[in-house]
Structure 1
Amino acid sequence: MYAYDTITEAVADLKKRGYSHDFNISNNRLVCDQLGKQYDHDDFEIKEVYRFEGPSDPADEAVVFAIEAPSGALGILVDGYGTYNDDDNTEFVKQLHERIVNRLKG
């Protein structure tokens, strides 16, 4: 696993390593406009996770997910949390975090 000081550094390095697609969460699904695809929370693999907590700025709080789609396409999901969390996608984000916790346990 890699260690990054900033979100920008993590995203830049992941892109260099082939994670070139941008993923977003919309209507409780993972969406990649570049691929024209939508995925349920268990339809893709989370390869790496990086959590960032800003010491004084809530805008710096985020989780960066390195994602592999079923097709093998690699991409990045950046999810802000705290003050700027999107309540419409809370359930999806909760499921992502449960997957990470279960992976760390097992």
Structure 2
Amino acid sequence: MKNFETPADAMQDLRQRGYEADFDLQLDCLYCSSLDLRLYEEEFNVDEVYHFKGSPKAGDNTVVYALTSPTGVKGIIIDGPETTIPDNSCDITKRLQNRLAAAGLSNPPVAREINV
């Protein structure tokens, strides 16, 4: 099991293991601009999740997801206080959370590797 101090540490480790694509949250998908690739809910697997909690007052709460597409594209998405999400509620974030909950991982431990 891997433990990291910061989201940047987790991302560095994931990059070294081939998770090179950077995905952004959109309303109905995850989007990688460098590959012009959209992944919808059923088109990716969540391989690992790292959950970091900061100051409860500030609402700091960052989650680093390691994802793989059926075609083998490996990437990262960050869901946190600095993430720019479209104005409407982000359906894809809810779907990520629902997929984790369905796997019994609705409250992942801080900075812990979880295989889904």
Q: Which letter does structure 2 place at the counterpart of 1:72?
A: G
Percent identity, aligned pairs only, is 31
Cα RMSD of the aligned pairs, angstroms, is 2.5
Aligned residues: 105
Aligned to 1:16: 16
Contact 1:28 1:89 in 2 (8 A): no
The Cα of 1:67 is off from its aligned counterpart by 0.4
Aligned to 1:45: 45
Contact 2:26 2:90 in 1 (8 A): no
The Cα of 1:104 is off from its aligned counterpart by 2.9
Relative to its length, the structure with more strand (as a share) is 1
Aligned to 2:2: 2
Matches of 2:35 and 2:83, distance apart in 1: 27
Contact 1:28 1:88 in 2 (8 A): no
The Cα of 1:55 is off from its aligned counterpart by 2.7
The 1:11/1:62 distance shift into structure 2, 3 A limit, reads same
Matches of 2:44 and 2:35, distance apart in 1: 14
Q: Deviations over 1:33-55 (max 9, x none)?
A: 12211121121010000111113
**2:104 alignment partner, SS class:** helix
Aligned pairs (5 A) from 1:1-106: 1-55=1-55, 58=58, 60-81=60-81, 86=85, 87-104=87-104
Structure 2, gaps ≥5 residues long: 106-115
- Bigger Cα displacement from structure 2, 30-39 vs 55-64: 55-64
